[in-house]
Chain A
Amino acid sequence: MQSTNKVITLDKIKKGEEFLITRFENKQLKCLSTRLGICEGQTFKCFYRCFGGPIILKKKFQEIAIGKKLAKSVQVKVV
């Protein structure tokens, strides 16, 4: 089990886990994500993890795939 207080990167999140985004290290990703409705301080669910590849976040009906390399630059906290 992940510790609920520990900050990890998005690529470490498991399928089905809910998490809070604490920080985007990549400025461009931050802007692109903000447009799509993914912001720091919001909670999401890991909808799916492609084997060795992108993480799919789900927010209502919106599914957003984030490549593994980018996911490593997003800090999150499991909630």
Chain B
Amino acid sequence: MSDKALSYVIAGNPNVGKSVVFNALTNTYRDVSNYPGTTVDIAKGSFENKTLIDTPGVYGIGSFSEEEKVTKDILLKYNKIINVVSAVSLERDLFLTQQLIDMGFELIVVLNQIDEAQARGIQVDIEKLQGTLGVDVYPTIATKKIGINHLKNNLNNFKQGNKTEAIEKLSELVTSSSNKNHYSSKEKVLFLEGDDSFDFTVEKAIDPDEIYTLRRNNVDNITKNCIEETLKDSRLSAKIGVLLLHPLWGSICALFILIALYQIIGVFLAGDVVGYFSDFVTNNINPFFSAIVTHFSNIEWLNQLLVGDYGVITFTAEIIIGIILPLVGGFYIFFSILEDSGYLPRLAVLCDRGLSYIGLNGKAIIPLILGFGCITMAVISSRTLSSKREKLITIVILSLAIPCSAQLGIILALLASVNHLWVTVVFISVILIVLLLVILILNKFLPGTSEPLILDLPVMRVPTLKNIIIKSYTKIYSFLIEAIPLFAVGSLVLGILSVTGGLAYIHVILQPVIVGFLKLPAETSDIFIMSLIRKDFGVSGLFGLAGVGEAQSFLTTAQILVCLVVTTLFVPCISSVIVMFKEIGWLQTLVIWLLSMVIALITGGILAFILSIVL
């Protein structure tokens, strides 16, 4: 059998449980969130001898966004679709179902979230729905694995459904303008809907809106016949949803979340927990590895490389287990709760007005907040933005001024250890001023304006503990898998430089900039070299120099402030750069990388100069 016949694609609207169904069928974990844009990359898993492909959530097949284009391209390669719909929003979701049927795909419909629908007084007549659509419909509560076995047992019953009659007739009028008749009915329907990537002509001009309206009328008739509703709309979740959109209460809530983040990550995790973990590494893990290495080797330089000050084993363990793991872990647990609750799209609506002043719409808040977790992940999720202009502005903000979870935790801990409010105020003000200036320049000179917002708000839900644990674990695991090799390479480079005396030489070369311009001790050069690999790697070095948790600091308060500003604005980490290459091309990535470095150093220099006068 061909690859096409052995592959099933999962498609559906956002927030209907596609990823949960994918997880349940394949026993592989796929990120599941209560907000659009979780699945921006394509996941593959296997079920029996079949390949299952998960796609980004879309409301229809077309070219309105990057996600739609990705989904369209995948769907056109295959024929069998597992279409996941939510029983809560069937009227909306069946538009995509009917579009897939009109295009001629073979379908199985998974009617998910039937428990939520019942709680809201929605009853779906499944027999009638099957009859009207002409395809099998399987009810499920995927989060509880209810209905999954029945679905698994019937996962071969793909059928072509009942097409919208008028659209079928219109697609018969479409002919290939280059006399090629190999185009499929799928492509013909897309052409009728205004997709101009096909070489077709049609006997009479048809407005693409007309096709949409015909399909919508058909879907409305189906839902009218198959759904019985006694709506119960006094749910607490609806009231909380409104509260979060209120300019005052919504802002207070956002502020409360930020304070909670600071208290949990900046004070508790970065202080107490990191202290405990660091001590554990210093007193137990590193002596253990040092003993093993020195037992087998008496070559001084090799021992230095493996277990010395910048030893691949000891330094990596110190940073990863001692500092990064508790901070990243804490952030992802916290963020998972926000994701799953449905809070983020409401925050997008709340921020829409403010973001429109800087050339973005409210949707950009999601990649920006994701950036506080991992910039690489956030750059990928900027695909959910509909215009290239917004994508570029968002990526610049992410690269320049958003610290990732590891970096944020260290910054918060350093600010807490300095214990002067003015330092925190100056740090935040400097970053915001630089960011605002860059955005204003971009907004003025990049052609176009901000894209208007249209966003479907998911229902507010209480996150499930199981999902939060699995999701946080998966994200922490992915983060570490990505970070550990880079940290190890970074340690190795630093170790080699240290052993060969190269580090001392670099200190001399960088002295005019580091000592002369930034007014920092020569040793801080290491921080900037480490920041070239990863920003959090750099600030981790700052942790030791600033003497966090220890009596002695090698840096003055002003020097810590300058270091924090420069490392925050410094170049994006290697993995982000790789993703940026893919998303916006090498030229723009290179410009952003160089500009970040120049802006970071100039800002740091100016700040150091001002502080030397004022203090």
A residues with CB within 8 A of B: 27-37, 39, 47-48, 50-54, 56, 59-70
Contacts and interface: CB of A to CB of B under 8 A. Distances in A.
Instruction: Give the 7 A-B residue pairs with the shortest CB-CB distance, closest first.
Output: A67-B453, A53-B353, A70-B452, A63-B457, A67-B452, A35-B59, A51-B247
Contacts of A54: 349, 352-353, 362, 453, 455
Interface SS of chain A: mixed
Nearest to A64: B456
B452 A61 contact: no
Report the contact-size class of chain B (Cβ under 8 Å from the partner): 35 or more
B245 interface: yes
B539 to A, nearest CB: 35
B349 A65 contact: yes
A27 B454 contact: no
Contacts of A39: 213, 216
A64 B209 contact: no
Nearest to A41: B213
Given A39-B213, A53-B349, A65 B453 contact: yes
A29 B454 contact: yes
A23 to B, nearest CB: 11
Interface string B84-113: 000011011001100000000000000000
Nearest to A52: B353
A53 B348 CA distance: 11
Nearest to B61: A35
Contact of A28 (B64, B213, B349, B457): B64
Interface in B531-569: none
A35 B233 contact: no
Nearest to B348: A65
Interface in B205-258: 208-209, 212-213, 216, 220, 229, 231, 233, 241-242, 245, 247
Contacts of A31: 60, 62, 64, 194, 208-209, 212
Nearest to B62: A31
B527 interface: no
B209 A35 contact: no
Contact of B216 (A34, A53, A69): A34
B524 interface: no
Contacts of A28: 64
A28 to B, nearest CB: 7
B174 interface: no
